[in-house]
Amino acid sequence: MYKVLIIDDDRSTRYMLKRFKKWESYGFVIADEACDGKEALQKLKSSHFDLIITDIKMPGMDGIEFLQELKSMKWQACVIFLSTHSDFEYAKQGIRLGVFDYMTKPLNGDLLSEALERAKTYLDEEYLKRTKIEAEKKQLTESAKLYYPKKREKTLAACLLSGSPQITEEIESTFVEITEMFEGDLYKIGILLNTMLVNLSEEIYAAFPWLQKLEGNTFTFDMTDAQSIAEMKQKFLVYINSSLEMIKKYELHHADSVIRRTCAYVIDHVEQDIKLEMIANEVHISKDYIGKLFKQKTGCNFNDFVTKVKMEHAKYLIRTGEFKNYEVSEKLGYSKPDYFSRLFKKYTGYTPTEFKKLYNNLV
């Protein structure tokens, strides 16, 4: 059965849709309802819906704004608009945004049946496509396991972490080997290169866990959309070189790098009241010099970095469910829970209590 979400501020419209007796005969079940786009987005965070039937004009977030949010978040769903004849201009906006169908109010049972039949055909076709793609990916993954150039990946990782200029030559050799292995099949090569890039990024973050807190998740890529071997090779070079630049930016290729040691110290002592003087004593350099160097190399003030690391650790502590808010505050070295809550809300957009509720609703 395909799951349906109904969105309408008019309770009578929602009631009429739920009373329609042919949902199951077309392969649908009404799973939930919402009174506007905002409420619907909250429900979509914790549940998947195959078909969404939404009014266009609603207070709060209307149907057009809701559809725009869906598109920006890349949530996949078949959407049918409900509108009056006077809303036709809005309906045209929806069509431009990729709405599947629209129906006019008051609802007509025969027209609803026809719309559901079209939606069922569309969803069945999409399901078959996804199934086929997943089967192909599984087959490619199994193939990659047999032929995966693990030695090449290890060499690339070593070149990255050491900042070696030989990495360009190594990329050339890797590309030749992979291209010959899959006889120029772009899609298969792309899948394997994606796997390699994921593994390399994970290796970097495993070596320097604090790096993600400074840079965020910078490794987003898709090699399978390249139109030629040359384009794919160029994209691969760009991704690898951006990783290499990041390594050099923080002087991670130097074992005794001040930035490297500073960041590692903050991670290792996240539950303490960290001061720049503590780092200075650790690396035997003046705190003023470290502060300036840190800002110059990372683009981030030292105190802002410490706060960022502490807030990330706070998110982890809250998710465990083992600590009250004041206990999280104390563990992170904040004597005043109110101050900690203000910092946490500024960083995440939620108070610790709101974050806990949101997380509990998602798991």
CA 285 to chain centre: 39
Confidence of residue 221 (pLDDT cuts 50, 70, 90): low
User: Is 42's pLDDT higher than 90?
Assistant: no
Residue 343's alpha-carbon distances to 330, 340, 346, 350, in angstroms, are: 14, 5, 5, 10
- According to DSSP, the residues that pair with 83 across neighbouring strands are 104
pLDDT attached to residue 125: 92
In whole angstroms, give the CA distance from residue 229 to residue 185. Answer: 9
Confidence of residue 91 (pLDDT cuts 50, 70, 90): low
Identify the weakest region by mean pLDDT among 7-16, 20-29, 70-79, 214-223.
214-223
The Cα diameter of the chain in Å comes to: 80
pLDDT attached to residue 86: 59
Instruction: Summarize the confidence of residues 8-28 as an average pLDDT.
Output: 90
In whole angstroms, give the CA distance from residue 27 to residue 349. Answer: 40
pTM over 0.75, yes/no: no
Q: What is the mean pLDDT of the chain?
A: 83
What SS3 state is found at 324? coil
Is 258-362 CATH 1.10.10.1200? no
Cα first-last separation, the chain: 23
User: Is 363's pLDDT higher than 60?
Assistant: no
pLDDT attached to residue 329: 93
pLDDT attached to residue 213: 63
Structure token pair of residue 301: 């003030």
Instruction: Summarize the confidence of residues 216-231 as an average pLDDT.
Output: 71
What SS3 state is found at 2? strand
Structure token pair of residue 178: 């992979």
In whole angstroms, give the CA distance from residue 48 to residue 118. Answer: 20
pLDDT attached to residue 53: 93
Confidence of residue 256 (pLDDT cuts 50, 70, 90): low
Confidence of residue 113 (pLDDT cuts 50, 70, 90): very high
pLDDT attached to residue 340: 94
Half-sphere exposure of residue 231: CA atoms within 13 angstroms, side-chain side: 10
Identify the weakest region by mean pLDDT among 31-35, 90-94, 127-131, 279-283.
90-94
pLDDT attached to residue 92: 64
Residue 267's alpha-carbon distances to 88, 257, 283, in angstroms, are: 56, 16, 15
pLDDT attached to residue 255: 67
In whole angstroms, give the CA distance from residue 332 to residue 327. Answer: 9
Q: What is the pLDDT of residues 49-63, one digit of tens each?
A: 999 999 888 888 888
Among 161, 185, 183, 157, smallest CA distance to 171 is for 157
In whole angstroms, give the CA distance from residue 261 to residue 255. Answer: 9
pLDDT attached to residue 140: 65
- According to DSSP, the residues that pair with 79 across neighbouring strands are 52
CATH of domain 2-129: 3.40.50.2300
Of 297 and 251, the structure prediction assigns the larger pLDDT to 297
Instruction: Summarize the confidence of residues 248-275 as an average pLDDT.
Output: 80
What residues contact 146, with CB distance under 8 A and at least 6 apart? Answer: none
Strand-by-strand arrangement of the 2-7 sheet: 28-34, 2-7, 51-55, 78-83, 101-104
In whole angstroms, give the CA distance from residue 298 to residue 252. Answer: 12
Q: What is the pLDDT of residues 300-322, one digit of tens each?
A: 889 998 998 899 889 888 988 88
Please, where are the H alpha helices in the chain? 11-19, 37-46, 63-73, 88-96, 109-147, 150-162, 167-181, 186-207, 211-215, 229-249, 258-268, 276-283, 287-298, 302-320, 325-331, 337-348, 352-362
Q: Which helix (H) or strand (E) holds 79?
A: strand 78-83
CA 241 to chain centre: 23
Q: Cβ distance 270 to 310 under 8 Å?
A: yes
User: Is 227's pLDDT higher than 90?
Assistant: no
Instruction: Summarize the confidence of residues 251-269 as an average pLDDT.
Output: 79
Residue with tokens 């495993």: 206
Q: Cβ distance 68 to 76 under 8 Å?
A: no
Confidence of residue 351 (pLDDT cuts 50, 70, 90): very high
Instruction: Summarize the confidence of residues 235-259 as an average pLDDT.
Output: 79
Confidence of residue 120 (pLDDT cuts 50, 70, 90): very high
User: Is 36's pLDDT higher than 60?
Assistant: yes
